[in-house]
Structure formats: C-alpha cells, structure tokens
C-alpha cells in the first residue's frame, strides 16, 4: 500500500540533479575565471601601454636649438633663459639649462644650445635626438639667400633621421634677425626651403629602396609622388619670425622673441 502511495519514491534519485547542479556551478566558475583572466590581461595591457606612453613622453623633455653657425642660437638661448641680451662667441660645446614655459601648466624643458659647426653638432645631435620634444631650427634670415642650400641640407638631415622621424618632435623654424632690413620673411623662407628640400629628396632618395620608408635609419621625407611641403610632415611644424636682439637693437624689448616663447608654451 505504502508503495502505491509513493510510487516515484523508489525511482527518484538525487544523483542526476546533483550532477547537473555541480556542472552548472563548474560552468559558472569557468566563465567567472575566464572573466577574471580577461580583466587581468586588459589591466596589464593598459598599464604597459600607458606606462610606455607616459614614460617616453616624459623622457622627451629636451628642446634643441639647432641651426648654422651665427644664426643666433646662443643669443636666443640667453634671451629665453635670462630675458636679456648678452654678447656671444661661436660655441664650441653645448649648453643646457632648464627653461620654464610661459604657460599655465608651468611646463619646463631642458633647453639645449647646440653649436652650429658641423664637426661639433653631429655628435651632440646624436646625444640628444632621442629625448627631443622639439627642435627650434634657427635661421639667419638676413643671409638666407646665400645660405639656403646649407640650411636645407642641415634640416633635411635632421628630419630624415630615423629616431627623429619616429619621435616626431615639434619643429619650430625660427626665422631670426628680423631686425635687419635684408631679412627674408618666414613665408619666403618656408617656400624656398620646401623647394630646396624637394631637390635634395630627389638626389638623396635614390638610395632608398623600401616603399614604407625606413632604410638604415633614414626615412623618406614627405609624401611620395608629391612636391615636398612641410605640411606633409607628421609632427607639428611652425615658421615664426623673431629677433634675438629685439626689434629695437641691443637694449631692445623682449617682443623680439615673443612668437618663439608662444610656440614653446604650446609644447
């Protein structure tokens, strides 16, 4: 009788249910563990990415003053740091000092005055190029017509350097000595440099064989199949006019380097 009242009791077994339950829990555990793993991987990747990004941009804190001899780098260096005029002689070694930008962020950079003489500058550029946040390329605008080829060759060698092209430091071409009446304008200097560098690219790039650019640390400048223009460069490029002597001569006002200070404030 009892057996008939509870016909299913004998057939009933807790085992399949328990199995299903355990399997469900195990499935959830696997999903949960997978979730944790994915989250961990994401955290690690983020840390590595931002660590590298922050580390490299933090490390690149040098502003290099480059340019031919007598273009006015040392005088600009003194004016930027001390705000006043000082007599200068041809530099035979680099000078560096901390420069505080005139911006609200209070950013400060290591300003490096690199001698213009070819035999000295190559080694110093090598030393600082990997940490360059910006290159201030100083041009003597009063003798630009005579120097154009040398200026273009120097700038070309900097811009096609593998390390420089990879880090894309901002380029500020400082058309200095605007207080001299013969001085060429920034616009004209830019146009003539583009023309000259276009020619240089034709003669120099014959050695480059790879399509994507990089060969032996040297890269193709600008866009293939198009005349060279500074706007084709990946980094920020600015042409500014300035006068390290100030527009009113030796005792002149600081306005002569205003445009350069503004550029540096944006770095």
**Which positions lie near ligand GTP, rule CB under 6 A?**
67, 69-75, 88, 90-91, 115-116, 176-177, 179-180, 243-245
Q: Output the smallest distance, CB 141 to ligand GTP, in A.
A: 9
Question: Rounded CA gap, 106 and 142, in Å?
Answer: 34
Which tokens in the block code for residue 264? 């540096």
**What φ, ψ does residue 168 adopt, rounded to 5°?**
35, 65
Q: Which of residues 60-79 bind Mg ion (CB under 5 A)?
A: 73-74
Nearest-approach distance from CB 215 to ligand GTP, in angstroms: 30
| Angstrom distance (rounded) from CA 197 to CA 215 | 19
Is the CB of 238 or the CB of 241 nearer to ligand GTP?
A: 241
Nearest residue (CB) to Mg ion, 62 versus 237: 62
For 44-163, where are the E strands, in sequence order? 62-67, 95-100, 108-113, 132-140
In angstroms, what is the minimal distance from the CB of 243 to ligand GTP?
4
Write the interaction track for Mg ion spanning residues 77-116; mark x where CB under 5 A is met and - where it is not: --------------x-------------------------
**3-state class (DSSP) for residue 174:** strand
Which two three-digit tokens encode residue 258?
A: 């205003």
Going by C-alpha positions, the residue among 147, 171, 151 that lies closest to residue 222 is 171
Nearer residue to ligand GTP within complex by CB, 72 or 169: 72
Of the pair 95, 191, the CB lying nearest ligand GTP is at 95
Q: How far is the CB of 76 from ligand GTP (least distance, A)?
A: 7
User: How many CA atoms, within 13 angstroms, populate the side-chain half-sphere of residue 223?
Assistant: 8
């Amino acid at each position: 009788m009892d057996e008939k009242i509870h016909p299913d009791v004998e057939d009933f077994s807790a085992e399949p249910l328990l199995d299903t339950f355990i399997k469900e829990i195990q499935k959830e555990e696997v999903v949960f563990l997978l979730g944790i793993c994915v989250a961990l991987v994401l955290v690690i990747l983020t840390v590595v990415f931002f660590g590298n990004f922050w580390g490299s941009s933090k490390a690149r804190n040098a502003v290099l003053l480059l340019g031919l001899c007598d273009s006015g780098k040392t005088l600009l260096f003194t004016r930027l740091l001390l705000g006043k005029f000082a007599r200068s002689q041809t530099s035979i070694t680099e000078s560096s000092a901390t420069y505080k930008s005139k911006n609200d962020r209070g950013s400060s950079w290591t300003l490096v005055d690199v001698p213009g003489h070819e035999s000295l500058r190559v080694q110093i550029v090598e030393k600082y190029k990997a940490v360059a946040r910006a290159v201030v390329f100083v041009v003597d605008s009063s003798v630009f017509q005579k120097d154009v080829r040398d200026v273009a060759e120097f700038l070309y060698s900097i811009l096609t350097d593998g390390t420089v092209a990879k880090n894309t430091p901002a380029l500020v071409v400082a058309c200095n000595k605007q207080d001299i009446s013969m001085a060429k304008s920034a616009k004209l200097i830019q146009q003539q440099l583009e023309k000259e560098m276009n020619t240089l690219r034709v003669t120099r790039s014959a050695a480059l064989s790879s399509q994507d650019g990089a060969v032996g640390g040297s890269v193709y400048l600008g866009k293939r199949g198009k005349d060279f223009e500074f706007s084709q460069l990946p980094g920020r490029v600015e042409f500014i006019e300035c006068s390290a002597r100030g527009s009113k001569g030796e005792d002149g006002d600081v306005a002569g380097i205003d445009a350069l200070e503004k550029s540096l404030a944006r770095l």
